[in-house]
Structure 1
Amino acid sequence: MKQIISTASLGILRGSQMMFTDFADGGEMWTSTGPRERRRPVLFSDTFTGIPVVTVTVSMWDMAQETAFRADLSAENVRVDGFDLVFRTWSDTRIARIRADWVALGPMRDDDQWDVE
């Protein structure tokens, strides 16, 4: 997929989000089976002037070794002010905890830009 960002000012924001620590309290990612999902809203520290491109990656994972590692991590509902960080797993995968990092790139207003009418 190709996306062209036409702007004089490219904003880059990044962050990290602990998705869950289900081993600590017996949560469903650690104790259940089948399809499971966790969503975490992420609000940007500044607002983009157009929809940014968001990339997410797992920066820490703690999984049970006796089952296969099945995971899907994505950014959904991307907006100028944030997005939903979504983690999914399925079958018998047991996940104790996951931390995700993200980077957002997009057009952003530069304080040095002047509006000339």
Structure 2
Amino acid sequence: MTVKVMVNQLLIDFANNQRQCAFCKSMIFFQESENMADQSHNTSAQQNVIVGEMQILSAVDEVFNHVDHGMPMWSGDGDRKVELNIAFQTPFNAPPAVTLGLAGVDSAHDQNLRFWLAAHDVTTTGFKIEFSTWDDTHIARAAVSWQAIGGVVVKPAAKPRVI
């Protein structure tokens, strides 16, 4: 059974991993894969959309869970930070533009919620998410959504073999 849905001017065909732009009718192919780059063994299913020579990668990742083992973001005070390395499933031809959004946060109710979220060290193959807090804020866990947009690495066409 083929399921097709119209979302934000894109016709999505889930059976064939395709999207069609409602304006220009061009086909956009997408796929998902797992990112196992960081040392904490978090995985992110990255969605890859390629339109012409542009690539859009996006995912949602849990940055940390410090409540289960009483780790610093939950039990500490003062300046604290957690960094998460993200590896792109497919490289870009130049460092892409990266945007971050807070997807979820679980914090103590009796202190102010203070945090800073930033993308650092953006390269053609990945970037680093930094989540920091300070003072007496206690954050149990946090999740971030991210999107990277840039030029896709175009593979040269195979030359025909002459026999």
Amino acid at match of 1:54: V
Deviation at 1:109, TM superposition (A): 2.7
Partner residue, 2:153: 109
Q: Give the TM-score, by structure 2 length.
A: 0.63
Q: 1:50 maps to which residue?
A: 94
- Return 5+ residue gaps in structure 1 as ranges: 1-7
Q: Considering fraction of residues, name the structure with more helix.
A: 1
- Hey, which of these two has a bigger chunk of strand by percent? 2
Shift of 1:49: 0.2
- C-alpha displacement of 1:47: 0.2
Aligned residues: 108
Work out the percentage of aligned pairs sharing the same amino acid. Answer: 30
Q: Which runs of 4+ in 1 moved over 3 A?
A: none
Q: Secondary structure at the match of 2:59?
A: strand
Cα RMSD after superposing both structures: 1.7
Separation of aligned partners in 1, 2:106 and 2:93: 37
Structure possessing the higher radius of gyration over alpha carbons: 2
Match of 1:59 in 2: 103
Greater RCO structure (CA 8 Å; 6+ sep): 1
Residue 20 of structure 1 pairs with residue 20 of structure 2: no
Partners of 2:89 and 2:97 in 1: CA distance? 15
Cα deviation, 1:36-91, whole Å, max 9, x if unaligned, reads: 01001000000000110000111010010100010001100000000001100000
- The runs of 5 or more residues in structure 2 that have no matched partner are 1-51, 159-163
Q: Which amino acid aligns with 1:68?
A: N
